[in-house]
Structure 1
Amino acid sequence: MLEQILLSARQCQLCTNSLPLGPNPVIQAAPSAKLLIIGQAPGLKVHESSIPWNDASGVRLRSWLQLDEEQFYNPEQVAIVPMSLCYPGKGNSGDLPPRKECAPQWHQKILEHLPNIEMTLLIGQYAQNYYLQDKPKNLTDTVKQWRHWAPSYIPLPHPSPRNNIWIKRNPWFESEVLPFVSTHIQNLFHR
């Protein structure tokens, strides 16, 4: 059943007229996955390669999670379902926000076939706004309150190099949040 939903999602044409480079949904999932990563939307490099997190942000994310490429790109372990499955295009200060139609169209259909997810990483404000109830208005305060939702949901900043200043200003993130996340993930994968 999940295979059929993923096939349909990968053939989605819902936003075709709004996507500057056309649709190319990038997603990975399998019913056995224990970790779910919900980010914003594929960037240009990901659109061109059809490989999720295949850019500088992905290098940093894998480092944060202490996962090598083989583990990260194994859909039997890691599901990757962004808020928008396709590259939304370039904006004034980075990529445009995820398309609003995408998550309501696909997330519930996909997630109900991922019964083994034990930790969901909500990367960036769009994923956090969609999935977290009663959260603070800004990303920093949301990430600071990560224990409130852990281990089911972990709000994270985007690992983009654009966020280097945020990471330097918030050293607690690397000293408190990341060790918890990487240890939890290693325990998930080695049970």
Structure 2
Amino acid sequence: MDELLSKIRNCTHCEEHLLLGPRPIVAAHPASKIAIIGQAPGTKVHQTGVPWDDPSGRQLRKWLGVTDEQFYDEQLFALIPMGFCYPGKGKSGDLPPRSECAPLWHESLVKQMPSLKLIILIGQYAQNYYLGNTMKRNLTETVKHYQEYLPDYFVLPHPSPRNRFWLSKNPWFEEEVLSDLREKVSGTLDY
């Protein structure tokens, strides 16, 4: 695992496409029980090198019902983005994650985590990649039918503060899905 993580962290595969340069962000351990597969680091995470070290990460930890210490314990959580480097700014926010990363690294990473019990797919990029044609017509419908993807995957929207409107339009998410998520995470960590 150490050799693989070193290769990922030193990857320059898409360097010419990265305005801020490559800085692959990943956290994993052979004992990781839960993998969180998100989008790509934002500018703050690019600067600090700490995955989910931003308002989205704070919201995600609330959703999961875990402390910072638990979340950043690599023996509990692997933090794997779809694109390992900050992709740059687009017209309405950050650009999509680079499409090269997941095919290059994800399978090798997951194979080196034999204790993995749950993969949490955050946002449409992770869900498209892992769920393929089993996804529903949009992210809302996929999340609404999250139980269909268990026990292997738990699907979530992105916890970005920008998604406040989505959360207000979909109160069932906080009322139903988050309690199941916390129960699943707690049970997996206690396992």
Query: What TM-score results when the alignment is normalised by the length of structure 1?
Result: 0.97
- Aligned residue for 2:121? 122
- Aligned residue for 1:169? 169
Once the two structures are TM-superposed, the CA of residue 116 in structure 1 deviates from its matched residue by 1.3
| Alignment partner of 1:138 is 2:149 | no
Task: Give me the whole-angstrom Cα distance separating, in 2, the residues matched to 1:30 and 1:147.
Answer: 27
Task: Give me the whole-angstrom Cα distance separating, in 2, the residues matched to 1:111 and 1:132.
Answer: 16
Match of 2:35, SS?
Answer: strand
How many residues are aligned here? 190
Provide, for residues 118-141 of structure 1, a one-character-per-residue CA deviation record: whole Å limited to 9, x for no partner.
111100000000001321131001
- Aligned residue for 2:147? 147
Task: Give me the whole-angstrom Cα distance separating, in 2, the residues matched to 1:95 and 1:137.
Answer: 23
Task: Give me the whole-angstrom Cα distance separating, in 1, the residues matched to 2:33 and 2:89.
Answer: 32
Provide, for residues 87-141 of structure 1, a one-character-per-residue CA deviation record: whole Å limited to 9, x for no partner.
0011111100000111101111111101111111100000000001321131001
Tell me, which stretches of 5 or more residues in structure 1 are unaligned? none
- Aligned residue for 1:58? 57
Task: Give me the whole-angstrom Cα distance separating, in 2, the residues matched to 1:32 and 1:151.
Answer: 19
Aligned-residue CA RMSD (Å): 0.8
Task: Give me the whole-angstrom Cα distance separating, in 2, the residues matched to 1:135 and 1:161.
Answer: 24
Query: What TM-score results when the alignment is normalised by the length of structure 2?
Result: 0.97
Which AA in structure 2 matches 1:149? Y
Which AA in structure 1 matches 2:187? N
Which AA in structure 2 matches 1:104? P
| Alignment partner of 1:93 is 2:92 | yes
Task: Give me the whole-angstrom Cα distance separating, in 2, the residues matched to 1:117 and 1:176.
Answer: 25
Match of 2:121, SS?
Answer: strand
Match of 1:81, SS?
Answer: strand
Identity among equivalent positions (%) equals 49
Task: Give me the whole-angstrom Cα distance separating, in 2, the residues matched to 1:77 and 1:127.
Answer: 20
Task: Give me the whole-angstrom Cα distance separating, in 2, the residues matched to 1:4 and 1:26.
Answer: 15
Provide, for residues 49-104 of structure 1, a one-character-per-residue CA deviation record: whole Å limited to 9, x for no partner.
00000000001000000111100001010001100000001111110000011110
Which AA in structure 2 matches 1:168? S
- Aligned residue for 2:157? 157
Task: Give me the whole-angstrom Cα distance separating, in 1, the residues matched to 2:110 and 2:77.
Answer: 13
Q: Which segments of structure 1 move beyond 3 Å, counting only runs of 4 or more?
A: none
- Aligned residue for 1:68? 67
Which stretch shows the higher mean deviation, 130-139 or 14-23?
Answer: 130-139
Task: Give me the whole-angstrom Cα distance separating, in 2, the residues matched to 1:95 and 1:19.
Answer: 12
